[in-house]
Amino acid sequence: MTPGADPNWAKKVTGFVELFTQHDPTSLVRNLTTRVELLEVDGTPYPITVNDTHIPGNCYICDPVTGYLDYAVEETRNFTDQPLLRSILIAMIRSATPLMRATGLGRAVHVNNWLFSTNPAPDIDAAHAKALRDLVLGHYPTHAIVIRSLNTHSDQPAIDALSATGFRLLPSRQSYIFDGAEAAAPKTSDFKRDQALLTKTPLEHVPDSGFQTADYTRAIDLYDMLYLKKYTPLNPQYSPRFLADMHRAGLLFLEGYRDEAGQLVAIGGRFQMGRTLTLPIVGYDTARPQKDGLYRLITALAQRAARADGLLFNMSAGAAGFKRHRGAVPAIEYSAVYARHLRTSQRAAISGVASVLSRIGVPLLKRFEL
C-alpha cells in the first residue's frame, strides 16, 4: 500500500507541515532545529526536513552526524556489562569523528521525515526513486538527500530501487519487526502472558477518545521519564503541544492506563503509514513496581492492533531480548543517502563511513543481537 492509497494521506501531510509552519520547531521538539516543508513527487506528497549545516546537539531525527556520532556513543550503554568492549567501541566512534564530519551530512534534505525515531518507509520503485531524486536536486542542489528507517525485512524493494538510482546505504541499527498478518499468534510464553495481562491488569485502560487536555502534559512527562532520563536526552524531546496537535490531527493514535486515582501511568502513541505500524511515543511511570508490567501493556496493545489489522509492527531498536521473546524478528535498518552531486571529498567520506559501518557495525549488531 502506497501513501497515495490512503484517502487522507494528503490531508495528513499538509496538516503535519502546517503544524511546523505555525510554530517554531523548538516549541514542538525541544532539541530540534530544522525547516519542515512539503514535497510532492508524482502526485504523492511527503513531509521533508531541510538542514543547511550540522548544529551540535541537534536531534538525530534530522541530523545524521548527531546520529552516527553522539547517539552511537550513547548506544554503547548496551555493553555496560562488558566495559572493555564498550571502551573500545567509544574510542572507535570518536576516532571516526573527522570522517563523519567530512561527509557534510548535516546539510541534508530528509524525505518522508515525520520526526520520529522510526519513519515507516513508503513504497518506492525505480521510477519513483528517480523522480524523487531529481525533484529534490532541482530544489536543493547542494544538499544530500536522505531517507531513514529502511529495513531489510519490509523495505527491500525500496532499498533495491534507491540503490539502483545511486543512493548509498548507511547501516544505522537493528530493528525488530512483528508481523501481525501471520495467521497464528506467536507461541512464546511472554507473548501469551502479555496478552493475558491486558485483561487482568487492575489499571484503567484509556482509549484514544479518552484523552483529555491535561493528559498531554502528563503523557510527555512519562515519555521523558523513559526516553530522556532512563535512556538519553539525545532522543527527541517532544512537547505537550506536539503530542496534542498530532493527536487531534489524527496522526497519532493514543492509548494508555490510569491508576486508581485517575492519574495516567502509561502511554503509547502509534503512527501508521501503509501497512506499517510504529510506536514512537512510549512512556510510563518508572517509579512504579515492575510487576505492574506497564511497558508490557503498552507493547501488547500495539501487537494486538497489528494482529487485528494485519499490519507490520516495527518495534524499533533496543530491548532486543524483550522483542524477540514476543515474536519479533531482527532486520538491519539503513539510511539511503544520495550524494553523487556533492564534492569529491564528501562522496569519499560517505563511502568510507558506509564501508566502516557495513564491515564493523553490522556484524556487531548481529553478533550481540542488539
Q: Which helix (H) or strand (E) holds 240?
A: helix 240-248
d(CA 370, CA 178): 16
Render 12-65 in DSSP notation, one character per residue. Answer: HHHHHHHHHHHS-HHHHBTT---EEEEEEETTEEEEEEEEES--TT--TTT-HH
Q: Which three cell numbers stand for residue 344?
A: 569529491
Q: Got the DSSP string for 272-319?
A: EETTEEEEEEEEE-TTS-GGG-HHHHHHHHHHHHHHHHT-EEE--SS-
* 3-class state of residue 135 by DSSP: helix
Confidence (pLDDT) at 1: 38
Distance CA 315, CA 160 (A): 23
**CA dihedral for 104, 109, 115, 118, sign (positive or negative):** negative
- What is the pLDDT at residue 85? 86
Say what the pLDDT of residue 76 is. Answer: 85
Cell numbers given for 363: 556484524
pLDDT at 5: 62
- Tell me the residue length of the chain: 370
Q: How far is CA 80 from the centre of its chain?
A: 24
Q: Degrees (nearest 5) of the Cα angle 55, 271, 265?
A: 90
User: Can you state the angle between helices 126-139 and 156-164, rounded to 10 degrees?
Assistant: 60
Pairing relation of β-strands 168-179 and 312-314?
antiparallel
Distance in angstroms (rounded) separating the CA atoms of residues 170 and 163: 11
Distance linking the first and last C-alpha atoms of the chain: 29
pLDDT of residue 3: 53
Structural domains of the chain in order of their starting residue, each with its CATH number: 3-174+331-367 (no CATH), 179-329 (3.40.630.30)
What's residue 6's pLDDT? 74
Q: What is the mean pLDDT of each run of 10 residues along the chain (370 residues)?
A: 66 94 96 97 96 95 95 84 88 92 97 96 95 98 98 96 98 95 85 96 98 97 97 96 96 97 98 95 97 98 96 94 95 97 97 94 81
